[in-house]
């Protein structure tokens, strides 16, 4: 297990106006760090200790933050997960933005960088191992084309490990998050009172509390561990149980009609590739991150689900 740093750092957080990034910023402040936030969106009530910069991560003003303020660390969270943006725009933001930010880290002497990715990059398939390790390739683009830009961003961030060995890079593949923010992929899927499921399938879903996720991200930055890490919380739970425990009603839909029902009858609008992730589990092994950092989640699966019941 690596020893966390105790010296305060000046940390750039991209996409800081997002719900999870705000939790990360607050955690950084609690730990004694100062925060430079980059986002095109405002954060009007940002706490003291957060210096905001309204900028696109791909543009020159974002590089100026690195050039002028000489940060010690980066937490990159400026990736788009919603599917309303065009494919071209998602690639420009996710892959183009990730490339630009890591170039700035290399050019301006940043010592530590954390890329916050998602466990769904492994993809869902009926013949996949139940617990995926970091040694397995991210294959989501094969079955979920809408995730191709996030897979590419994950792989590019990982390439910094050998391209710039002086930069302590950590690529995190976080499981779904649930909590008081009410934001995120899984939260959006569970938004309504009725949750569409595929008839005959009840896959395991793996998630962690928002606050545990924020703690893990900051711990990764503070640790001198480097590499690609799955980040997990409590044990995975079957989808039907997840629905009932959070106060939702699962509605099984025959697979031939599933896509036609999405976005109608009060169901969420899902991209075609999401079908595989509702049929088959994407469960990862987070033991390497625990061994490297000593991370322990504080909310078990019941507490996480109960806390999301009224969201």
Residue 146: which pLDDT band, with cuts at 50, 70 and 90?
A: confident
Q: Is residue 174 part of a domain?
A: yes
Positive or negative: CA dihedral 287, 288, 289, 294: positive
Cα–Cα nearest to 117, from 177, 57, 178: 177
Residue 87: which pLDDT band, with cuts at 50, 70 and 90?
A: confident
How many residues in the chain? 311
Cα–Cα nearest to 140, from 155, 120, 161, 158: 120
Q: Is residue 20 part of a domain?
A: yes
What span, in angstroms and rounded, lies between the C-alpha atoms of 228 and 239?
27
∠ CA 108-225-22 to the nearest 5 degrees? 65
**Average of per-residue pLDDT across 167-191:** 94
Residue 85: which pLDDT band, with cuts at 50, 70 and 90?
A: low
241 three-state secondary structure: helix
Helices (H) and strands (E) in the chain, counts: 13, 15
DSSP-assigned states of every residue in 31-87: TT-EEEEEESS--TTPPTTEEEEE--TTSHHHHHHHHHH--SEEEE------SSS-H
The CB density around residue 58, as the number of other CB atoms within 10 Å, is: 16
What span, in angstroms and rounded, lies between the C-alpha atoms of 51 and 35?
6
Cα–Cα nearest to 298, from 173, 209, 177: 209
What is residue 6's predicted lDDT score, i.e. its pLDDT? 62
Q: Give the residue numbers spanning the domain of 163.
A: 10-180+207-235+284-298
**What phi, psi does 113 have (nearest 5°)?**
-140, 135
**Average of per-residue pLDDT across 161-174:** 97
Pairing mode, if any, of strands 168-174 and 227-231? parallel
What span, in angstroms and rounded, lies between the C-alpha atoms of 102 and 29?
23
Q: Is residue 263 part of a domain?
A: no
What is residue 80's predicted lDDT score, i.e. its pLDDT? 77
Residue 84: which pLDDT band, with cuts at 50, 70 and 90?
A: low
Cα–Cα nearest to 99, from 146, 17, 39, 159: 159
User: How many folded domains does the chain comprise?
Assistant: 1
Q: Is residue 128 part of a domain?
A: yes
**Average of per-residue pLDDT across 265-275:** 88
Q: Is residue 195 part of a domain?
A: no
Residue 144: which pLDDT band, with cuts at 50, 70 and 90?
A: confident
What is residue 289's predicted lDDT score, i.e. its pLDDT? 98
Residue 93: which pLDDT band, with cuts at 50, 70 and 90?
A: confident
**Average of per-residue pLDDT across 38-63:** 94
For the chain, give the mean pLDDT.
Answer: 93
- Give the pLDDT confidence of 233-266 residue by residue, as tens digits: 999 999 999 999 999 999 999 999 999 999 898 8
What is residue 1's predicted lDDT score, i.e. its pLDDT? 58
Pairing mode, if any, of strands 112-118 and 168-174? parallel
What span, in angstroms and rounded, lies between the C-alpha atoms of 282 and 126?
10
Is pLDDT larger for residue 86 or for residue 136? 136
Residue 90: which pLDDT band, with cuts at 50, 70 and 90?
A: confident
What is residue 83's predicted lDDT score, i.e. its pLDDT? 57
Q: Is residue 149 part of a domain?
A: yes
**Cβ–Cβ < 8 Å for 119, 140:** no
221 three-state secondary structure: helix
Q: CATH no. for residue 104? A: 3.40.50.720
For the cut 70, the answer to whether the pLDDT of residue 5 exceeds it is: no
To the nearest whole percent, how much of the chain has pLDDT over 90?
81
What is residue 129's predicted lDDT score, i.e. its pLDDT? 87
**Cβ–Cβ < 8 Å for 276, 125:** yes
For the cut 90, the answer to whether the pLDDT of residue 297 exceeds it is: yes
Q: Is residue 109 part of a domain?
A: yes
Q: Is residue 259 part of a domain?
A: no
Positive or negative: CA dihedral 238, 244, 247, 249: positive
For the cut 90, the answer to whether the pLDDT of residue 277 exceeds it is: yes
Tokens linked to 152 = 């590419």
For the cut 80, the answer to whether the pLDDT of residue 157 exceeds it is: yes
């Amino acid at each position: 297990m690596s020893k966390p740093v105790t010296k305060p750092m000046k940390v750039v957080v991209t996409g800081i106006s997002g719900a999870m990034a705000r939790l990360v910023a607050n955690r950084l402040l609690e730990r004694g760090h100062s925060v430079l936030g980059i986002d095109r969106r405002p954060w009007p009530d940002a706490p003291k200790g957060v210096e905001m910069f309204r900028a696109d991560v791909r543009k020159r003003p974002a590089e100026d933050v690195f050039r002028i303020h000489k940060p010690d660390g980066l937490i990159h969270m400026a990736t788009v997960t919603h599917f309303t943006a065009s494919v071209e725009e998602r690639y420009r933001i996710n892959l183009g933005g990730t490339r630009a930010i890591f170039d700035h880290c290399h050019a301006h002497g940043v010592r530590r960088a954390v890329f916050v990715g998602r466990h769904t990059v492994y993809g869902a398939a009926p013949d996949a191992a139940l617990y995926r390790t970091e040694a397995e390739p991210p294959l989501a683009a094969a079955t979920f084309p809408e995730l191709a830009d996030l897979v590419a961003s994950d792989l590019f961030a990982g390439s910094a490990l050998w391209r710039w060995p002086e930069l302590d890079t950590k690529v995190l593949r976080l499981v779904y998050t649930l909590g008081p923010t009410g934001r995120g992929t899984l939260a959006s899927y569970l938004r309504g009172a009725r949750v569409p499921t595929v008839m005959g399938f009840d896959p395991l879903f793996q998630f962690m509390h928002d606050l545990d996720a924020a703690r893990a991200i900051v711990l990764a930055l503070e640790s001198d561990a480097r590499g690609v890490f799955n980040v997990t919380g409590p044990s995975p739970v079957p989808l039907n149980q997840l629905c009932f425990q959070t106060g939702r009603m699962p509605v099984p839909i025959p697979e031939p009609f599933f896509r036609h029902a999405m976005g109608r009858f009060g169901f969420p609008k899902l991209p075609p590739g999401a079908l595989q992730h509702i049929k088959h589990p994407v469960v990862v092994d987070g033991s390497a991150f625990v061994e490297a950092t000593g991370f322990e989640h504080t909310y078990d699966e019941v507490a996480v689900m109960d806390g999301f019941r009224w969201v």
